[in-house]
Amino acid sequence: MSDYKCECNGETIDKRNVTIRYIEGKGAVHDVKCEECGEYMIPIKKKRNYTKEGVASLGRMNRNGSSY
């Protein structure tokens, strides 16, 4: 889930399934439009509540190099 914010009034909404489209002159944008002004909304970056540290454990491997 991502939060999106509109520049016209500062309204924020929460969307789940969003398509990313390429638009000439704007580049890749999320397909979330403001209901009032009709412009594309800007995604808000959330702070993660976890950190990724260390190395992934692959466990055991067979003779072909696949882990199981």
Let me know: does 58 contact 67? Beta carbons within 8 Å.
yes
- Residue pLDDT, tens place only, 7-64: 888 778 888 888 888 989 888 888 888 888 888 888 888 777 777 787 777 778 888 8
Please indicate, yes or no, whether the overall pTM of this predicted structure exceeds 0.95: no
User: In the chain, what are the domain boundaries?
Assistant: 2-44
Give Cβ neighbours of residue 53 (< 8 Å, ≥ 6 apart).
Answer: none
- pLDDT > 70? residue 1: no
